[in-house]
Amino acid sequence: MALTIDPSSYETAPEVKCNFLPCTISKDGDANVTRYFDTSVRKENDGLTAAFRGRLLNGQEVVLPGGYTGLVIREQGSAITEDQDRSLRVDQRFSSFTAWNLDKPPSGDDKLMKALQWIDIAKALHRPVDEESSQKSVTGK
């Protein structure tokens, strides 16, 4: 089975505002974000606040690392058997999003902020190594 993303859909995908919420909502589908959530967002001295289900959220804008784009992808139809090919379309894209904490000011210690470190670490780990520096790491010379 192959999983493909239609590259042409990327070009036409509009920018979208994304929110990363500190909870799990047992529902898939559209939500009245503009009416119910965006209206609760306030800019306070020490960052953004909002409310979800009556609970206080503290947020910050997270810009994606250089060279990365966020994609909202959607499956076209659904595969019936496991070996059927599946195709995905880019519905929307984003270059930043708002990360919300539950009742806790955002900090570098948040799981999400720490997870983003992986991008730099992965880059360093997977960078091709030339012979000289690889020799150096073995012999120390």
Partner 1 sequence: MDQSTFENDRSKNCVLESPICDRLKSEPCWLGIDEAGRGPVLGPLVYGICFSPVAEKEKFKEMGFADSKTLTEEQRENIFTKISDNGDMMGWMVDILSPGYISRSMLRRAKYNLNALSHDSAIGLVKRALERGVNVTEVYVDTVGDPTKYQDKLKGIFPSIDITVAKKADSLYPIVSAASICAKVARDRAVKSWVFAEGVEIEGNAYGSGYPGDPLTKKFLAGNIDPVFGFPDFVRFSWSTAALILEKEAAAVAWEDDEEDDSSQNSGSASLLQFFKKSGDDAKLERHRFFSDRALTPLSSL
Give the shortest CB-134-to-partner 1 separation in angstroms. 23
Segment holding 19, helix H or strand E: strand 19-20
Q: How far apart are CA 14 and CA 49, in angstroms?
A: 26
Give the shortest CB-12-to-partner 1 separation in angstroms. 22
Q: Is 41 exposed, middle or buried (0-12, 13-18, 19+ CB in 10 A)?
A: middle
Q: How far apart are CA 59 and CA 23, in angstroms?
A: 14
Which amino acid is located at 116 in the chain?
A: L
Identified binder of partner 1 from the candidate list 31, 123, 135, 136, rule CB under 8 A:
31
55 lines the binding site for partner 1 (CB under 8 A): yes
74 lines the binding site for partner 1 (CB under 8 A): no
Identified binder of partner 1 from the candidate list 6, 15, 40, 129, rule CB under 8 A:
40
Which spans of this chain sit near partner 1 (rule: CB under 8 A)?
3, 22-27, 31-32, 35-37, 39-40, 42, 51-56, 75, 86, 88, 102-104, 111, 114-115, 117-118
